[in-house]
Amino acid sequence: MAMAAKRTALITGAGDPAGMGAAIARRFARSGMSVAVLDIVEEGAKEVAASITAAGGSAIAVTADVTDRKQVTEAAERVRSALGPIGVLVNNAAIEGWCKFEDLTDELWDRTMEVNLKGAFIVTQTVLPDMEAAGWGRIVNISALGGQMGGVFDMSHYNSSKGGMISFTHSLAIGLGAKGITANTVSPGFIDTPMARRAIETSAFPVDHREILKSYPIPRLGSAEDIAAAVAFFASEDAGYITNQVLGVNGGCYN
């Protein structure tokens, strides 16, 4: 897969060393991109960026809450001055949420929508001028299997935000294709990250998750690297004629 050596990528929610965002950042860096590791958790973002730099890559950490336009604007400015204009954006930051439907509050619904969907809007709108000026860009939005299929009842707020991510991506693809900018969605299934482990350990899972996995055509949890591989393809030079697509990376579950 051909990758441009000098692209700069911004990955949101990349400050969890065991999460997908960090795996995406590491993969991009290995392919020669400069990467901005954005997260609301400053220490995590710094740790991930430092590990990339230690491995010979080019990375900086930027701290921002994706729902805060001022913080996002300042973060994007830092990225531009350190690494140059942003050509690749991965909207990955999200919060999960298991909550019984009858207990779901307005506040939890609103915060989930704000982080998972509005955050992607704010970050995209902030970095888009760089891509438009270059006549080249790659936007990869992270949805979820539950956003495609409805998922489980006790995650209706999360699943709705992730379904919205797919619609948002379609609109971007339609509006930006003629400008050389693609927009695609990667939709993870059940992936072994801290988010999934929190769900398994805290909750809410009505059955042993190993029983769920047995029904998958590929009967295992996915890895963060499985997701990073799909994102890297959409972000690559080779994927310039591919836009408006949803790629499920889910072991074949329900697809």
Ligand X SMILES: NC(=O)c1ccc[n+]([C@@H]2O[C@H](COP(=O)([O-])OP(=O)(O)OC[C@H]3O[C@@H](n4cnc5c(N)ncnc54)[C@H](O)[C@@H]3O)[C@@H](O)[C@H]2O)c1
Looking at the annotation, which residues are catalytic?
158
Select 45 or 136, whichever has its Cβ closest to ligand X.
45
Q: How far apart are CA 33 and CA 87, in angstroms?
A: 10
Select 24 or 29, whichever has its Cβ closest to ligand X.
24
Q: How far is the CB of 2 from ligand X (least distance, A)?
A: 26
Q: What are the phi and psi torsion angles at 205 (to 5°)?
A: -65, 120
Q: How far is the CB of 133 from ligand X (least distance, A)?
A: 25
Select 136 or 227, whichever has its Cβ closest to ligand X.
227
Q: How far is the CB of 160 from ligand X (least distance, A)?
A: 12
Q: How far is the CB of 106 from ligand X (least distance, A)?
A: 18
The residues that touch ligand X, with contacts defined as CB under 6 A, are 12-13, 15-16, 19-21, 39-41, 44, 65-67, 92-95, 115, 119, 142, 144, 188, 190-191, 193-196
Q: Are 224 and 27 in contact (CB under 8 A)?
A: no
Query: Is the torsion defined by CA of 70, 71, 76, 78 positive or negative?
Result: positive
Taking each helix axis from N to C terminus, what angle separates 42-54 and 20-30, rounded to the nearest 10 degrees?
30
Select 104 or 213, whichever has its Cβ closest to ligand X.
213
Q: What is the 3-state secondary structure (H, E, C) of 113-182?
A: HHHHHHHHHHHHHHHHHHHHHHCCEEEEEECCHHHHHCCCHHHHHHHHHHHHHHHHHHHHHHHHHHHCEE
